[in-house]
Structure 1
Amino acid sequence: MKKLLYILTFFISISAFSQTLYSVLEKKTIALGEPNVYKIRVDGLAGKTVQLPPKNELLPFHFEEISDSISVQADTYERVVEFTVFEEGKFTIPAFEVKIGDEVSKTIAYELEVINTAQKGDKINDIMKNKSVKMDVKSYWELYKWYILGLLALIALIIAIVMIVRYGKKRKSSPVVATNHTLKQLDQLKRKKYIEAGNYRSFYVELIDITRNFLTKQYRIPADVLLTDDLIDAMKRNQTISQSNEKIVEDIFLRGDLVKFAKTFPDKETMDKDFNDMRDFVKRSSKDLEFENLRKDV
């Protein structure tokens, strides 16, 4: 009798300190999109922790989880997952390993059948009849205004790009640009005081280089590669440069060649005159060219 009492006490103590794990699937057959509930519950925790996959990651990918709630108390763990399936067929909820403290237990697997309850030839009725809505100008504007504004902005951008390309290029090639650039170069030459120092050779070399570059850019004459005689001949054939301006350039270039080969030694007054004549020629050129371009356009 005493031995039987010991055995009974032993089993009672085991059941008192053991955990009970069970799971349940509410419905084994559901229609497409119909909600179903899957529960896992552990009793007799005695403060132990329960480890399962994270929330919203418990069921396989075929199952669309609607909600996943976990309730934990000192002696009870309960997890309730509401889900649905949007594919027809048979699916399995696998057995999950549940770690309770240091022990591992397993749930049972469930087979779930998903059926399509719609029958061929079923008539589908709208909840409400379609209504015709009368549209006025304001309604059409509210509906399409962003498309219209976007189209207008695109047209404006294209026009702006065309204007910049056309007139920006024209402005860069304008006679005034070459004129102003050459006048700055002449001012820099003046500040070197070659005339005051009597350094006529350096003066004429730089003055002629500036003039050659100017003729090349302003009149499209290849003055930077032509010899003096060929350049004078090219200027005479050019219909844009006036005869008086041709004479100024011709005299300065011929004098520059003589200075270069030490055949003449110009005085200060001659150098001053050549500098001022060339400066005046450069100033007049932009107006002459703009007049010539206007004449050609007409």
Structure 2
Amino acid sequence: MRYDFKMISVNISDLGLRLKRSFSIGLLLCSFFSFSQVTSSVDTTLIKIGEQITYKIQVETDTTNLVVFSEGQTFSPLEMIASLDIDTTKSEDRYQLIKTYGLTQFDSGVYTIPRQKVLIGDQTFLTDSVRVEVKNVAVDTTKQGLYDIKPIVEVQKKSGDWWKYLLLTLFIIGLVGFLMYWFIWRQKPLTEEEKIALLPPYDRAKLALKQLDESHYLEQSELKAYYSELTLIIRKYLDEKVYDHSLESTTDELIARLNLLKEGNQIELSQETIKNIENILKRADLVKFARSAPDTALAELDRKTIDAEIDHVREVLPEPTEEEKLMDEKYREALAKKKKRRKIITTTVISVLLLIMTFAGFSIKYGFNYVVDTLMGHDSKELLEGNWVSSQYGFPPVTISTPKVLKRMELPVPEDNNASLNMTSFSYGALKDDFSITVNTTFFNQVPEGGINIEKIIEESLNGLEDQGAKDIVTLNEKFTTPNGAEGVKTYGTLRFDVSNTGRSVEVNYIMLHFTSENVLQQMMLSYPTNDTYAEKIIDRILNSVELKPASE
């Protein structure tokens, strides 16, 4: 950004002398008519580098007049490091006001404290200029050793509260994993029914007969329930070892099948065994469907007969072949795999449901886009939620909070302006980045003729954007006031620029702030993506943190 200022100087001594005398006469007349007197003084005109000069302005005026002293960096090339409260004394209808400043300079040389303006009522008074000398501090290197500059020490960034969220997440994952293990994967103790189911058919049948003996069906004359259990025991045993449709077959069908197997020499059942089974099954049918009521002794006899016939059936059954044993083994392995597969499917379904429920819950509370951006990552969101930095930049200082520290940049100053102004610049990012911020401070050693033209500065700033490749710049201006009351001009809108090597154009928002005092220009430039809610929150937070403070604070 360039500033061209045309300075006109007149070096005619006689004319300068006449103007000086005329100006002095004018001041005397003003003092006479306003009954005011302004004087200035310093406690010393010779200091060492960094020492303080006490500069006082004394005003004597009528009590009805309003007096305004200079504030800010009006003492350049000296720096104001203190501005004390006004000391006021009253004598009858006159005020005596004393304003004290602390000044210093950190470079050796001879300097001139410029004349200071004092407003009394509607009149302007100027103090006398003062020449001061700043000397170097002599160092006796024979007694005082010289040391290298200490290296930069890296400051550890605050860890934040991320570890709390990590612990909470690990706890929830561990809890869910434990519950899944306990209810799905844990090898649970077998129930009584499962233990019975694992027994061989013969042992299950014998155990069922024992449990039937322990029942109270016969004592309570519940013959129908008794015979139902008894016939179910023999049918289950035959279903597993002889004929696999024994449970659903009628009595006649089952007996016919047993006879057929006997005649086909597939099983060596005796005719007596088949006959006994047939008699008990038919008697049970009569009890269940015809309400027949045999006596208890016959029922007990039928139970013993079934017990004996189960033993007979077992005796005539052939030993299982190796192929049958192998098939049984494969069947058990298939069952185990099926059970494991069922556990995996259950675990997967529960995990997916928990993830969906968690995502839906966070989406309801924080918003769908926020959750997606948190999971997928979003540059502006990371800046917004990162560790912000509050710092002062330039002199007079601009206090501002930013998501990243601004780095000092060296800006080229035209040679013809080197003596008239000093510029400092701090920035993060660039115009073509997703987000950028720049803070510039320009200190004018010689104020341009007519003062600092802020409209011209804004126009030159916009031209600078065009030089960087911006186009289609939309510009709006409005008044801007910082939280601590500093007033400036806000220029904002949108612009477009071409993305390198892509052939496409991108639109971004921009905001420029301009503040001026008597000899200081302070500027801020912000750029951020359009339609980015996180970037808008970043900008609002930055603008609400801007404070302009005089160096005396």
TM-score (norm 2): 0.23
TM-score (norm 1): 0.41
Higher helix share: 1
Higher strand share: 2
